[in-house]
Amino acid sequence: MKEYDIICIGTALVDSIIKGFDPNPVSASGFRAESGSLNVGGEAVNAGMAAAKLGARTAILCSLGKDAAGEMIVSALNAGGVDTGLILRSDENPTPVTTMFVNEDGTRKSITNGSHRYNFHPEKHAESFMNARAIILGSLFRAPFDDPEIILSVLTLAKKAGEIVFADTKLPNFRPLTLEDLKYALPFIDYITPNEDEAKYYTGKTKPEEMADVFLGYGVRNVIIKLGAKGCFFKNQERTISLPACDIVAVDATGAGDNLVAGFACEILRGATAEQALIFGNACGAICTTGVGAGTALKNREQVIGLLGNIS
Name beta bridge partners: 108. 102
| Helix residue ranges per DSSP H, the chain | 43-53, 68-79, 126-129, 148-160, 196-203, 208-217, 256-269, 274-288, 301-311
Q: In this structure, are residues 20 and 73 in contact, taking their beta carbons and an 8 Å threshold?
A: no
Q: How many domains does the chain have?
A: 1
- pLDDT beyond 60 at 312: no
- Would you call 248 helix, strand, or coil by DSSP? coil
* Per-residue pLDDT tens over the stretch 167-209: 999 999 888 999 999 999 999 999 999 999 999 999 999 999 9
β-pairing, 88-90 vs 97-102, is unpaired
* Per-residue pLDDT tens over the stretch 209-256: 999 999 999 999 999 999 998 999 999 999 999 999 998 888 888 889
Q: Tell me the mean pLDDT in the region 144-170.
A: 97
Q: Of all residues in the chain, what percent carry a pLDDT higher than 70?
A: 98
* Per-residue pLDDT tens over the stretch 65-91: 999 999 999 999 999 999 999 999 988
* Per-residue pLDDT tens over the stretch 11-25: 899 989 898 999 899
Which pLDDT score is estimated for 311? 59
Which pLDDT score is estimated for 295? 82
What DSSP string runs through 85-151?
A: TT-EEESSSPPPEEEEEE-TTS-EEEE--GGGG----GGGGHHHHSSEEEEEEEEETSTTSSSHHHH
Domain of residue 205: give its range.
Answer: 4-23+32-311
Residue 144, preceding peptide bond in cis (omega within 30° of 0): yes
* Per-residue pLDDT tens over the stretch 91-117: 888 999 989 898 877 777 888 877 777
Tell me the pLDDT of the chain averaged across its residues.
93
Name beta bridge partners: 233. 225, 242
CATH code, domain with 224 = 3.40.1190.20
Name beta bridge partners: 193. 168
Q: 256-269 and 43-53 helices cross at what angle (nearest 10)?
A: 50
- Nearest Cα neighbor of 202 from 221, 186, 188 is 186
Q: Of all residues in the chain, what percent carry a pLDDT higher than 90?
A: 78
